[in-house]
Amino acid sequence: MSPVAWPILLTLGLSAAAAPAPLYDRVEHAYAENDGVRIHYVSMGDGPLVIMIHGFPDYWYTWRGQMDAIAETHRVVAMDMRGYNLSDKPRGVDAYAMSHLVGDVAAVLRHVGAETGTVVGHDWGGMVAWQFAFAHPELTERLVILNLPHPRGLMRELATNPRQQENSQYARDFQLPDAHERLSAEGLAGWVADEGARERYVEAFRRSDIEAMLNYYKANYPREPYAEDTSPVAKAQMPVLMFHGLDDPYLLHDALNHTWEWLERDLTLVTVPGAGHFVQHDATDLVTDTMRAWLNR
């Protein structure tokens, strides 16, 4: 062997030794309980609490691009929402009412022993994060939302914007009684671009209950005829960071307009051209770096 090869091999060996173990092998697993329903979550890091809530169709692993960086200064907790992966899957539409979903987040926060936390949510996780912040401002230090407009903005667009109504047809389809029979774990994982990650998603969705996933829509998504919410506004009391992939075909960016009118504190809005609904994957570095800087400001 050429002597020149030795430094190369040594460098490769040191690099391999220094490479961190896969995220799956470094997180700690635990379960919180909310009125008899067990909620699985993983955690890593130490410091102020950050709770991350996934959307549809997803599970805790959606935050793999953010968890390491945020865990450098915070304790990061990523949940499996009820019905998904290793969390319990109670039967019936009523078990997925928003009050139960908000209660699941509170149960996790209590289980980790934190008094307050930053709540991060994407898609349905974003809706739960908004509602948690409204219901429990005393527990919500900050709020981070990814591709889920403020509920007021979404209702306004559903009531007045024909394009949003058209692009929400999928949600109305999911509200049909037999909608889950037309879906599969493989099909639900089709959006995952990373082939290695897609295999994990298929496994997680096989452990999940597809009917339970769609119960989120049946229990909580507005039904026609849509009407704009004109009730008194309960403004969010904490600083808010929002990311929105502008190529999202499901939740149009028009719904972002006037978000600041429904907040008591500062809003940081990051719109991302070229990113779609899963902005935390489409623009991983931007989302991670911005979130970390905002949390540590």
Supply 23's token pair. 């995220």
Q: What is the pLDDT of residue 130?
A: 98
- Burial class of residue 7 in the structure, from the number of CB atoms within 10 Å of its CB (0-12 exposed, 13-18 middle, 19+ buried): exposed
> What is the rounded average pLDDT of the residues 168-190?
98
**pLDDT digits 0-9 by tens, 186-214:** 999 999 999 989 999 999 999 999 999 99
Cα separation of 119 and 291, whole Å?
Answer: 12
The 3-class SS string of 154-171 reads HHHHHHHCHHHHHHCHHH
Cα separation of 129 and 53, whole Å?
Answer: 8
Q: Which helix (H) or strand (E) holds 110?
A: helix 98-111
Sequence spans of domains, the chain: 21-223+234-295
CATH fold group of domain 21-223+234-295: Rossmann fold (3.40.50)
Mean pLDDT of the chain, nearest integer:
94
pLDDT for 5 beyond 60: no
> What is the rounded average pLDDT of the residues 134-160?
98
Cα separation of 139 and 114, whole Å?
Answer: 9
